Structure 1
Amino acid sequence: MEIILYSKSLDVIDKNHVNSSSKIFEIEFAQALAQYAKVSIVSYSAKSDMQYKNVSLFSLNKDETIANAIRTTICKNSLFKDSQKIIIAFGYDYRIFRQLKKVSKLYDTKLISYTFDTHKGATNSSGFLKKNLIDLYFRFGIRYVNTIDGIILFNEEAYKEMKLSIPFLISKVGINEESIVPKVYLRTLNSENEFRIVYSGTLIEYNSIETLIETMSYLKGQNIVLDIYGDGPLKSYVENCVKRADNIIYHGLVSNSQINSAVSRADLLINLRDTENYISKFAFPSKLIQYMASGIPVLTTKVLSENEFCEATFAIDDLDPLKIKNSIINIKNNPYLQTKKSEYAKEYIKEKFLWSNIIRDVIQFVKYD
């Protein structure tokens, strides 16, 4: 089996050098697929061809259309020689899938969408006219995706929302077992040390950034500090708030290796996802699985309802800043429970979220009958 992944954003395939959880997800997904198939990623963002572990990244010629650029890459690198050929692309961009379908027909391949997000999150801050024009464009994309061979999603609600009739697979975010940090959190806090909270991710409404910053306003004088890493539509809002707050530090968009370093020094990682938001029908915070693998305890909204998830995290179902403040203080005052959560979280993701298990269902779904 041979698979080509089309990526809009990947410029490297070493996850330590990327700066978003979605890029990490794409890289690890490709590496997991490579256990069963020859995998190549093609991207206009890549400046040069490169190989990392068992995955190749090929730079597409910006002067050519997607279809022609991929065809050139296939010929130049002797790709698609196997009888089972699959193209996978992320999302449902009409222009991209229309071009990829030309390649699919030319090489007699399956064409699969992996949709783990929705365009609506990025358009929340757009004006009325622009927002509706973008929405119209992507509705055409969804309709076009309904003509391809299949789609992979995180939530069946997304399949219903898109009104699709093609074959689908409900999958999960995965993690490699070697990425699970062996250490368990152990507090060494004393009266002179700060209790450090880390948020890393997109600065956007459905990640409850405003709620998080309001929560910190109630924690002044508690020796609790929040480090924020990331970029997004609410960047200016965060920067302005930080000027008036002495317990929040904004670090901007940094590499994954820098994030890992910050996480390793934290006392608590935080993920406040608005589960009532439309985006939650599509997306699952892949950063959350990386958090749980770090050995650092996690405070999160209840994005999963199973009891094991609540045992593995400090799970809350209310985005009231005062209640979140009380939860943080209770966590700070209970380091023993932090250690227990840290221990259980790693066992939980080993059982539920290893790529080695998740990818079997993906391969079964995409392969030819």
Structure 2
Amino acid sequence: MTQRPLHILFIGSVIPDTPEYRTAAFSRAGNLAQQGLLAGLDGAGADITVLAFQPVPAFPRSPRWWVSGQRLPGPGRREQRLVAFINVPYLKQVSLACALLIQCWRQIQRGVPQVLMSYNVNTFTSAPLLLLSRLLRLPYVPVVYDVDVPGATVPDGPLQRLEYRWAARVLPLLPAAITGTALIGRELMPGRPTLVVEGGLGPAQQAYAPAPRTSGTTFDVVFAGALETYNGVDVLLDAMTWLPTHVRLHVAGQGGLRAAVEAAAASDDRVVYHGLLDMDGLRGLYARGDLLVNHRSDERLDSRYVFPSKLIEYLASGLPVVSTRFRSLPEEYLPFLEVLSDESPRALAAGIERVMAALPAARMKARQAQEFVRTHKSWAFQGRRILSFLETVVL
């Protein structure tokens, strides 16, 4: 252990989860991951300075061509600033890289950090840190949760291909990384030390745990997340045709399949669409649920480099969870899930019916899952693991 708190300079996109900061580019999963990571490191004793940018769709998808910077209050020992940038395609990335480089340099003048970190390795965040790392001989250790594969997790456009090639070239040059899946380390950073931290559980997510339900005239299935094909939202809707009439499907979130969900809710009173919910809304939705569905697709998404952090939140709820067995799913999760045989609507319906038929046993498994994630996946626990890993890199 070092004699003084480890000083970390962190670049990310973490913002307050309040209406004034939420845009179409806002990802609650990514924001929660960064908030939890920073809180865990802070609680473990690190000294953290945060430079961040607000996720905003580029002009003209957003009417804002300029996004102002500001200073934000940080909990614990954290200091946080949002940088300003030009919100026009391509100029956006260049202006962000310049702004982050300038602000990083100003922070370094106030006190040289021992570790440079970023959330993912986008060109505009990792390029400034890579330059500073080389100039000042400081270790740069990113947290890599998203390596988007063009044509799979993102469109196959020139900017997306550039970002993927950049990540593939930069990661092998770095001394170490915290990764969201084991395959990121094995395939993109062979021979480099990595620590797999697929996500974590924050205090707000632990508060999602509902009181146990003892009776009800309906069996309520819940999905909360991005309304996209890779999350099997269309499969969920199709599975309803195989399920008994007392089963209800509750869907919350936003995304490309929102119109399909709204149409299903309009034509079938067993389907309920709740829109994009805040923390209190999610807590209420989970409280009325009997079962949660995590249908991350391996057939429609190259999921090697993606772990659905929502799964940790699901397990923390204390409700039974039905899930696909996607490639990035660690073996340690399997005992706590009702794993589907395949990704078809019929297999999903069969998985839900198995839980319904053995509900006491499923609820006992759910309580064991809740204890597992609270003990081994809390951000307090993960923060201590990450800090110990960073100290080995520094030393």
| TM, length-normalised to structure 1 | 0.83
Residues 252 and 274 in structure 2, CA contact (< 8 A), matched pair in contact too: yes
In the alignment, which residue of structure 2 is the partner of 1:365? Answer: 389
In the alignment, which residue of structure 2 is the partner of 1:29? Answer: 37
- Structure 1: runs of 5+ lacking an equivalent: none
Residues 322 and 339 in structure 2, CA contact (< 8 A), matched pair in contact too: yes
**Out of 66, 81, 84, which is 1:58 matched to?**
81
Shift, 1:24, TM fit: 0.6
Residues 226-285 of structure 1: CA deviation (Å, up to 9, x unaligned)? 121222333344344444333222233232332222112211111012245653211111
Shift, 1:328, TM fit: 1.7
In the alignment, which residue of structure 2 is the partner of 1:134? Answer: 160
**Out of 99, 105, 116, which is 1:69 matched to?**
99
**Out of 86, 92, 111, which is 1:81 matched to?**
111
Structure 2 Cα separation of the partners of residues 305 and 163 of structure 1: 19
Residues 140 and 175 in structure 2, CA contact (< 8 A), matched pair in contact too: yes
In the alignment, which residue of structure 2 is the partner of 1:11? Answer: 15
Shift, 1:108, TM fit: 4.5
Structure 1 Cα separation of the partners of residues 84 and 107 of structure 2: 14
Shift, 1:215, TM fit: 0.7
Structure 1 Cα separation of the partners of residues 109 and 252 of structure 2: 39
In the alignment, which residue of structure 2 is the partner of 1:195? Answer: 219
Residues 97 and 124 in structure 2, CA contact (< 8 A), matched pair in contact too: no
1:362 maps to amino acid: I
Identity across aligned pairs (percent)? 20
**Out of 376, 379, 388, which is 1:355 matched to?**
379
**Out of 282, 288, 295, which is 2:318 matched to?**
295
Are residues 1:322 and 2:346 paired?
Answer: yes
Structure 2 Cα separation of the partners of residues 166 and 32 of structure 1: 24
Residues 14 and 52 in structure 1, CA contact (< 8 A), matched pair in contact too: no
Structure 1 pair 30/248, CA: closer, same or farther in 2 (3 Å)? same
Are residues 1:119 and 2:127 paired?
Answer: no
| TM, length-normalised to structure 2 | 0.78
Residues 220 and 249 in structure 2, CA contact (< 8 A), matched pair in contact too: yes
The total of aligned residue pairs comes to 359
In the alignment, which residue of structure 1 is the partner of 2:51? Answer: 42
1:265 maps to amino acid: R
What SS is found at the alignment partner of 2:32? helix
TM alignment of 1:232-271, pairs within 5 A: 232-271=255-294
Shift, 1:176, TM fit: 4.1
Shift, 1:301, TM fit: 2.1
Shift, 1:53, TM fit: 2.6
Q: CA RMSD in A?
A: 3.3
Are residues 1:150 and 2:155 paired?
Answer: no
What SS is found at the alignment partner of 2:353? helix
Structure 2 Cα separation of the partners of residues 80 and 107 of structure 1: 14
Shift, 1:28, TM fit: 0.2
- Structure 2: runs of 5+ lacking an equivalent: 1-5, 56-68, 87-93
1:32 maps to amino acid: G
Structure 1 Cα separation of the partners of residues 341 and 350 of structure 2: 14
